[in-house]
Structures are given as C-alpha cells and as structure tokens.
Amino acid sequence: MKIEVWSDYVCPFCYIGKRRLEEAIQQLDFKSEIEIEFKSFELDPNAPKSYDANIHELIAKKYGITVNQAKANNTQIAAQAKSMGLIYDFEAMKPTNTFDAHRLAHYANAEGTQDKFSERLLRAYFTEGKDLSSYEVLASLAKEVGLDYDQAMKILNSDQYRDAVRRDESDARRLNISGVPYFVINGKYAISGAQPTAVFLQSLKQIRTDEVRVESEISGTSNNESKGICIDGQCNI
C-alpha cells in the first residue's frame, strides 16, 4: 500500500496529521507493506522569506479576525498537537517561504531519508522556532538526519529539484487538492485533513479489504477500469 502525503512544513495540521497517520499504521497487521511518500505543497508560494508581523498577526490578517482570536485558535491547535506528543511554540515560529525546504526534501527522498528529514523540518519549525528559509539551517538539519551538508548547500545554491517541487504542485492541482494535509492511497482513495487516528485506521483497513477483494475477483474489467470506494466521506479520486 502506497500513501502519498501532500503537506507543507509550516502547516500546523500537517504535523498533527502525520503523527495520527503514523499512530494508525502502527496498529495495522500489514504495516510492513505500507510505503509513505511526502509530496510538496506550498500554502503560499508567494510568501517572503521573512515577515515583520508574527504568526498571530499574520493569521488574524489572513482570516479577518482579531489577534486575540488568532491566539485563541493557535492555543487550541497547540492543545491538539500536545495530545499527539507534539510541542508547538507559536511565539517562536518564524513564518517563511518553504520552497527551498521542499527542494531539499526531494534530495532526502532520493537518499532514502525523506521521512526523517520531513519530521526534522516540522519539529524545527513548530517546536524550535528555526528559520526554514535559511540555507545554513536547512543544510544543518539535513546533516542531522545523515545527509551530506556540502551536497545540501550545493543543491540549495542551485535550481536542483525545482522541477520536482513544481511537479508535485501540478499533481495537486490535477487532483483538485486545495488544502493540506491530503492523503492519497494507492492512487485511488483520498483522505483529506488531519483526521482522528481512528478514521485513518478504519479507512486503511477498509481500503486493504477492498483491494484484496478486487484482486481476488474474476472480472472482465482491466485494472484501469477498477473503481475505488467512499469511506466515511473520503472517496476515490
């Protein structure tokens, strides 16, 4: 089973959704058969590398609410994160452009350490208040998960993996993905949002059951004609 995950490193629900998915997978008896691949999605491709405003002020402006309301919403999000063992420090977060972080994540994927690097980027942003647009920060984080620092810097100072990021984003548009996290299973089923662990668990079990059933049936249709199913509001695409 392949799970493709469209997400952004400054999306608070992406980190929560990642952890809930992982928690669900650990409860599956076929977890060893699951492959996860993270896909690039920029919440704001035009975001600058630095802002004069803090995260609360930016959210207030984006959604047309007061700063106090934004702070209250962020407190609720932090509580959700804490329930999954994640510590969010909204006061330290540095909103930024994530394009280069996504480029380097493709390098990590090519080296077989994409999951570790994605996890490190998320913790660096949400917990440690690191600047994910800084080449020095990105290369250092890459080194922490076993990647080559000099190679990471070389990539960051070039256009390498630019097309890979744009290809992921083009695929997201083709699939009508307008928000993240967004999970596509076996290219046929979709789960949108940071759903509760129980929803991930039930959905993955049902998809597995359906896939096994389809494979065992004697049918006159080709694989390209097979259809997915809808599970608790998450349907095939």
| Percentage with pLDDT > 70 across the chain | 92
| Strand partners for 134 | none
Which tens digit of pLDDT belongs to each residue from 162-195?
Answer: 999 999 999 999 999 999 999 999 999 999 999 9
- Average pLDDT over the chain reads 93
The pair phi, psi for residue 182, each rounded to 5°, is -140, 125
> Is 67 strand, coil or helix?
helix
Which tens digit of pLDDT belongs to each residue from 75-107?
Answer: 999 999 999 999 999 999 999 999 999 999 999
232 or 31, higher pLDDT: 31
Q: H/E element holding 185?
A: strand 182-185
* Rounded CA Rg of the chain: 19
Q: Which of 104, 90, 94, 128 has the alpha carbon at shortest distance from 40?
A: 104
